[in-house]
Amino acid sequence: MPADRPARNKGSEPRDETALEFIASICSVLVIGLFVITFVFQNFQIPSSSMEKTLLIGDHVLVDRITFAPPARWAPFVHYRNIRRGDIIVFYKPGEPNLFLVKRVIGIPGDRIHLEHGIVYLNGVAQNQPFATVPADDGNPNDAYYPYRDDFPTVAPPADSDVTSTWSVELPSHIQNGNLVVPPGDYFAMGDNRLVSLDSRYWGFVPRQNIIGRPMFVYWSFVTPEDQEDKTSVSDRVGFIGHVILHFFDQTRWRRTFHRVL
């Protein structure tokens, strides 16, 4: 008489995944991914040279949306902190809610700021900012001194400048004894490439609610023409995608991969 065979554990038997279960799995992944992209991290591409040499045109950075967010009771384990001087921030440009910008915070609420020949004076003290470019007397017109930009805010903006009309009207009300005073709830931001950056000197303060996060590191960097952001036609975009595919290996800045943004 054959020996009794052990009872089979029905719970260990493999079974095919139903279509409904497959769809539910995909939806779960999409929901989690959407949550992470919306509330935790966001990718951002640097389109201009306003932050060189800190950030280059063609740098793709991962933006932390949590650190500067309002504290949430449901996530007490998450690290939140206030925005500090020197932080690099990604924000919606004031007056243009669909345009992202990246700049460095120079002044926080209550700070008194002015520039002398491109040097930032914060609360009366000249700042040592080796990351920033300043005008030079080397004969190069690109480095030449420009009164409004480099002696801000003591020189009135010329009529043909890039200063927005609303800021030119509002600016005098924030000046005290030759200094720009940052009001509560606002921040004064500038690009590290001070000679070309259109920043708070040209369009005003950054409201706290406009700030969405801070770039943490460069996850990919590709050599990109400075005028690429102005090429918006379908043919230009498709052409550049083809260029990226063709030159992915030889024009990727491999040394900048995982470069921390400071």
Count of residues making up the chain: 262
Mean pLDDT of all residues in 231-251: 92
Q: Look at residue 76 and tell me whether its pLDDT is greater than 80.
A: no
Amino acid found at 185: G
- pLDDT for 14 equals 57
Higher pLDDT, 111 or 233: 111
CA distance 250 to 199: 33
Say if residue 179's pLDDT is above 80.
yes
Mean pLDDT over 169-196 rounds to: 97
Mean pLDDT of the chain: 86
Of 122-131, 155-164, 204-213, minimum mean pLDDT range = 155-164
Is the pLDDT score of 21 beyond 80?
A: no
Residue 258, pLDDT above cutoff 90: yes
Higher pLDDT pick, 142 / 251: 251
Structure confidence at residue 35 as a pLDDT band (50, 70, 90): very low
- pLDDT for residue 142: 79
Q: What is the pLDDT of residues 185-206, one digit of tens each?
A: 999 999 999 999 999 999 999 9
pLDDT at 41: 65
DSSP letters spanning the chain: -PPPPPPP-GGGS--PPPHHHHHHHHHHHHHHHHHIIIIIEEEEE--SSTTTTTS-TTEEEEEE-STTSPP-TT-TTS------TT-EEEEEETTEEEEEEEEEEEE-TT-EEEEETTEEEETTEE---TTS-----SS-GGG---HHHHSTTTSPPPTTSS--HHHHHHGGGGEETTEEEPPTTEEEEE-SSTTT---HHHH--EEGGGEEEEEEEEEEEB---TTGGG--SHHHHHHHHHHHHHTHHHHB-GGGTTEE--
Q: Each residue of 210-240: pLDDT tens digit?
A: 999 999 999 999 999 988 888 889 998 899 9
Identify the CATH homologous superfamily for domain 42-235.
Umud Fragment, subunit A (2.10.109.10)
Question: What is the maximum alpha-carbon separation in the chain?
Answer: 107
Mean pLDDT, residues 71-83:
68
- Return the higher-pLDDT residue of 14 and 106: 106
Q: Would you place residue 100 in the very low, low, confident or very high pLDDT band (cuts 50, 70, 90)?
A: very high
The residue extents of the domains of the chain are 42-235
Which pLDDT value is given to residue 9?
52
